């Protein structure tokens, strides 16, 4: 075979445009542990992906006749831009994680919005990182570690994964390989329980200050990223505060929107306080055409919150303008919207709004 006859590797030349592209095709499904799978996705029309390691996408799933939105971190690395991946842990009785595990196959299509999010060590350059992960919270850390590894970056990284048993440690082989190949990369698995089926040569118990001092004696000097179940993050945050860590170098991401909703609660309290103090607040009429309801919404309140208070059940998830679940068509009127990437500019131009982060500035008619 001559050089001219040899098959050429065809790679996409166009970039994934978050404002225009949305269809992804599942290329492969990989079993990581007994309850974690990775789904490798490519754009339906060949595209290269550009994102910060640690960012996530919001996917729409059609399950049981309903559209459900969920966010998943991109566990792949932007240094390999032709495909992305999501790595999903089964959540007992969770509709989407179980659907993905049981149903998603190569060739199937998904709609996605993003990449978005600001949880990335590339947004916080530092010479030394400590990446602390619990369970499926490993995914943003994995993307960051893979990126540094592919770039042969000389950053000093300590990567800690806490799991129930050694059988629950996700990406173990790859992390051990990275540690073998790179003297600046240290991998420390921490397991709560040891069983005959899952023996462990790592640390045992729950992450504690003495354990962390053994793993990374200089942890107080590192930039720290944390992601995991809510109780894990609360415990780690308290532990670092008690150890005198400078919390300006502490960064966390929650997979639980109840955590994110705390910020929205604060906004609601401010709106309520203004009402209690009888600060004059304008109120606008908001009409919902499909449900044939009309409610009064103070100018200080998000439309979704006011609708909830009026007993309406509108689709929502993050309530932070991130996930796109509450996206609705505004047929007339004006709003101020403070979203965080959950809506595309072309959708805004077409009159769509996110009700969770839109306050009325006139009477509104919403197609819901
Ligand atoms: C920014 C962001 C990134 C995320 N990235 C990932 C990821 O990379 N991998 C991943 O597996 N999940 C990730 N999640 C969680 C994911 O969006 C879903 O919530 C999860 O897959 C469960 O969906 P579900 O529909 O099966 O159950 P849901 O109905 O969403 O959840 C059922 C219950 O389980 C809780 N829960 C949700 N996720 C977990 C979890 N991982 N561990 C324990 N309890 C949980 C929920 O709070 C809820 O009470 C991410 C979430 C966010 C907000
Ligand atoms: S509920 Fe997530 S963007 Fe509104």
Q: What contacts 46, CB < 8 A, 6 or more positions away?
A: 11, 12, 13, 14
71 ligand 1 Cβ < 6 A? yes
Contact 89, 136 (CB under 8 A): yes
For ligand 2, mutation pick of 70, 321, 353 (most atoms within 8 Å of CB): 321
Predicted model pTM = 0.86
**For residue 258, what pLDDT is reported?**
66
CA of 261 to the centre of ligand 1 (A): 15
User: Can you tell me the distance from the alpha carbon of 255 to that of 237, in angstroms, rounded to the nearest whole number?
Assistant: 16
Pocket of ligand 1 contains residue 136 by CB under 6 Å? yes
Name the phi and psi angles at 233, rounded to 5.
Answer: -70, -40
Of 59, 57, 23, which Cα lies nearest the Cα of 42? 23
pLDDT of residue 274: 64
Ligand positioned closest to the Cα atom of 342: 2
Structural domains in the chain? Answer: 23-116 (2.40.30.10), 121-255 (3.40.50.80), 262-367 (3.10.20.30)
Q: What is the pLDDT of residue 8?
A: 82
pLDDT at 263: 52
Residue 354 Cα: closest atom of ligand 2: 4
> Residue 261's closest CA among 327, 314, 323?
323
Whether ligand 1 lies within 6 angstroms of the CB of 203 is answered as no
pLDDT of 106: 98
Which atom of ligand 1 is found nearest the CA of 117?
1
Is any atom of ligand 1 closer than 6 Å to the C-beta of 256? yes
Start-end of H helices in the chain = 95-103, 138-150, 172-181, 209-215, 230-242, 257-276, 303-309, 345-349
What pLDDT is recorded for position 340?
84
Residue whose CA lies nearest to ligand 2 atom number 3: 321
The pLDDT, as a whole number, for residue 139 is: 98
Closest ligand 2 atom, CA of 356? 4
Nearest alpha-carbon partner for 130 in 221, 46, 66, 62: 221
Going from the Cα of 208 to the center of ligand 2, the distance in angstroms, rounded, reads 36
Q: Is 139 a pocket residue for ligand 1 (Cβ < 6 Å)?
A: yes
Task: State residue 271's pLDDT score.
Answer: 65
Nearest CA to ligand 1 atom 33: 94
The answer, yes or no, to whether any atom of ligand 1 lies below 6 A from the CB of 56, is yes
Q: State whether the beta carbon of 16 lies less than 6 angstroms from ligand 1.
A: no
Give residue-wise pLDDT tens across range 196-246. 776 667 799 999 999 999 999 999 999 999 999 999 999 999 999 999 999
Ligand 2 center from residue 153 Cα (angstroms)? 36
User: Which residues of the chain, if any, have pLDDT below 50?
Assistant: none
pLDDT at 265: 61
Chain length of the chain: 368
Distance 256 CA to ligand 1 centre (A): 6
Which ligand 1 atom sits nearest the alpha carbon of residue 89? Answer: 11
Ligand 1 atom with the shortest distance to the CA of 253: 1
- Rounded-to-integer distance, Cα 209 and Cα 50, Å: 37
Tokens 């059988």 belong to residue: 167
Pocket test for ligand 2, best of 343, 354, 368 (most atoms within 8 A of CB): 354
pLDDT at 7: 78
């Amino acid at each position: 075979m001559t050089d001219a006859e040899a098959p050429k590797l065809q790679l996409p030349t166009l970039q994934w445009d978050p404002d225009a592209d949305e269809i992804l095709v599942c290329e492969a499904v990989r079993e990581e542990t007994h309850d974690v799978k990775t789904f490798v996705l490519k754009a339906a029309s060949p595209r290269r992906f550009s994102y910060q390691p640690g960012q996530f996408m919001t996917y729409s799933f059609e399950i049981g006749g309903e559209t459900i939105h969920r966010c998943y971190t991109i566990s792949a690395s932007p240094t390999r831009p032709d495909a992305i991946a999501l790595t999903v842990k089964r959540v007992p009785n969770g509709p989407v994680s179980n659907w993905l595990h049981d149903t998603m196959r190569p060739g199937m299509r998904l709609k996605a919005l993003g990449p978005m999010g600001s949880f990335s060590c590339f947004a916080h350059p530092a010479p030394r990182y400590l990446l602390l992960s619990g369970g499926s919270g490993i995914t943003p850390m994995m993307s960051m570690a893979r990126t540094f590894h592919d770039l042969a970056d000389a950053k000093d990284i300590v990567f800690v994964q806490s799991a129930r048993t050694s059988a629950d440690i996700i990406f173990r082989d790859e992390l051990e390989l990275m540690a073998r190949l790179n003297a600046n990369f240290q991998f420390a698995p921490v397991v709560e329980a040891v069983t005959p089926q899952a023996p462990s040569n790592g640390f045992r118990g729950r992450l504690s200050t003495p354990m962390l001092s053994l793993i990374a004696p200089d942890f107080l000097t590192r930039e720290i990223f944390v992601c995991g179940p809510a109780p894990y993050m609360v415990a780690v945050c308290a532990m670092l505060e008690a150890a005198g860590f400078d919390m300006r170098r502490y960064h966390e991401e929650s997979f639980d929107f109840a955590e994110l909703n705390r910020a929205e609660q604060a906004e609601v309290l401010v709106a309520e306080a203004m009402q209690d103090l009888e600060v004059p607040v304008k109120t606008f009429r908001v009409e919902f055409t499909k449900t044939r309801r009309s409610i009064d919404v103070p100018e200080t309140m998000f439309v979704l919150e006011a609708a909830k208070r009026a007993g309406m059940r509108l689709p929502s998830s993050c309530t932070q303008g991130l996930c796109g679940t509450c996206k609705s068509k505004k047929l007339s009127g004006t709003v101020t919207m403070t979203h965080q990437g959950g809506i595309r500019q072309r959708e805004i131009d077409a009159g769509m709004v996110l009700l969770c982060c839109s306050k009325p500035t006139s009477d509104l008619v919403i197609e819901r």
